[in-house]
Structures are given as structure tokens and as C-alpha cells.
């Protein structure tokens, strides 16, 4: 009986998700953000990206991640200048599949296990972590119909030439949306909320993501060329 009820619940959730995906034009990415400011940073400060050895080993993935973060850094008033930077910026992110917070851990799966959970730090999760920008990018394993995504981004700024950390910020999110490439830039934007003088406590930063509306499949009827009205036959002349 319990299995039958669970199947009905999953079917209903799937139907709702499909319906929302077909008509929604936006969704909200809620982020838990914590930032640390150690020294004043002037407006328009210049920077260059720096990488950890593990990030240097995966050059293409790290370059892609830096491209995703750069618009948010510019929006915060920072200017990239690889020739004469005043600061270095190190960016990292990770994304992994997790067990949904509303999932039944005993339904079609081996149960709970250790992993990176849907909140801060280490918790109960399912699957193995995948790193993006830190060296690896790979999904974990999930039971059917229990897809849930956990993501985290971080930004660390260091002054030059002393290489002292002057700013550090982290943003964490978990949710059902699979489009990591769309969500990571939003999370970088949330992580820089309040820069360079952010609130000290953990805060929630919600960012609305606009999605492209589905293209219409309606085809307007094409005008047809006008046709001449049929002419009446000419009567034959009467015979004398």
C-alpha cells in the first residue's frame, strides 16, 4: 500500500513539474551567502584571475568558470587588467546531484549515506560530489525521480604584492533546476551582493532567473492570391 501511494505521489509531482516547465517564464534561485571583508577595496579596482594547482590542471574548465564569473565581478565595480592588477581573484564552484529533501530514503534506493547535503557543510546526501573549477566536474548517482541539485560558489580576493586575503564570499543553493550554466552566474551575482561592505551574518539572497518563453507553434495562415470570378457564357445569336 505504501509503495502504491508513493508511486501516485511521484506521478503527481512529475505532472506538476512538466506543467510548470511548459508555462513558466522565470524562477527564483535562493542563495545562502556569507561574506568576509578584511580591508577597504576602492571602486574600479583592477584584478587578474589566479588559480590553484588543481585548477591549473583543468585549464579549459577553469577558464569557462572564470568567464561565467566575470560579468558579476564587473557589475560589482571591479575591472579586469591582467597587465597591472591591484588584486587577484580566485573563483571556484561545485555542483552535484543530491537526494531531494522530500524523498523517501527507503524507496527504490539503498537509503541515506554520507555526502554533501542540501545545506551548509557536510550532511546527509546521496551520491558523490563533482567539482567544477576545482579540478573535476561530474555528477553523482540518484534514484529515479529524486533529482535534486546542490551547488556552491566562492570568490577570494587577495591584494598585491603582499597576497593578503582582503575579501572572501560564498553562496550556496540547492533546488530542482538542472541548468547549471544558467544558475552559476546568478550565484556569483548573489555572492557579491553588498560588495565591498557586505553584511557580516549569513543572509539569504534571492535572484530571479528569466527563462525564454516557448516558441509558438501556431502558424499564421498565408494569404491566397485573388482569383477572377467566373464569366458567364455569351449567348449564341438567334437564328432568323
> Is residue 85 scored above 50 in pLDDT?
yes
- Residues 26-50 have pLDDT tens digits of 889 999 999 999 999 999 999 999 9
CB of 173 closer than 8 Å to CB of 96: no
Fold of 36-199: Double Stranded RNA Binding Domain (3.30.160)
Q: Which of 145, 149, 150, 151 is nearest to 104 (CA)?
A: 145
Report the chain's terminal Cα–Cα distance, integer Å.
101
Give the span between the Cα atoms of 96 and 24, in whole angstroms.
24
Cell 554520507 belongs to which residue? 114
Q: In the structure, what pLDDT confidence band is assigned to residue 25 with cuts at 50, 70 and 90?
A: confident
- Residues 226-235 have pLDDT tens digits of 555 555 555 5
Amino acid at each position: 500500500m505504501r509503495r502504491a501511494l508513493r508511486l501516485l505521489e511521484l506521478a503527481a509531482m512529475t505532472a506538476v513539474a512538466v506543467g510548470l516547465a511548459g508555462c513558466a517564464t522565470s524562477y527564483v534561485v535562493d542563495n545562502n551567502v556569507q561574506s568576509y571583508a578584511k580591508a577597504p577595496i576602492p571602486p574600479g579596482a583592477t584584478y587578474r584571475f589566479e588559480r590553484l594547482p588543481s585548477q591549473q590542471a583543468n585549464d579549459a574548465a577553469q577558464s569557462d568558470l572564470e568567464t561565467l564569473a566575470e560579468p558579476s565581478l564587473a557589475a560589482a565595480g571591479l575591472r579586469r587588467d591582467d597587465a597591472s592588477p591591484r588584486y587577484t581573484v580566485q573563483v571556484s564552484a561545485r555542483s552535484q546531484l543530491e537526494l531531494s529533501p522530500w524523498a523517501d530514503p527507503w524507496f527504490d534506493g539503498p537509503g541515506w549515506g554520507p555526502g554533501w547535503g542540501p545545506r551548509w557543510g557536510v550532511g546527509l546526501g546521496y551520491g558523490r560530489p563533482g567539482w567544477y573549477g576545482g579540478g573535476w566536474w561530474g555528477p553523482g548517482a540518484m534514484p529515479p525521480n529524486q533529482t535534486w541539485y546542490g551547488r556552491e560558489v566562492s570568490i577570494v580576493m587577495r591584494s598585491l604584492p603582499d597576497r593578503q586575503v582582503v575579501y572572501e564570499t560564498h553562496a550556496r543553493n540547492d533546488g530542482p533546476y538542472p541548468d547549471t550554466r544558467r544558475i552559476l552566474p546568478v550565484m556569483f551575482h548573489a555572492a557579491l551582493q553588498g560588495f565591498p561592505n557586505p553584511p557580516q551574518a549569513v543572509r539569504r539572497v534571492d535572484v530571479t532567473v528569466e527563462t525564454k518563453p516557448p516558441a509558438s507553434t501556431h502558424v499564421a495562415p498565408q494569404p491566397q492570391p485573388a482569383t477572377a470570378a467566373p464569366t458567364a457564357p455569351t449567348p449564341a445569336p438567334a437564328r432568323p
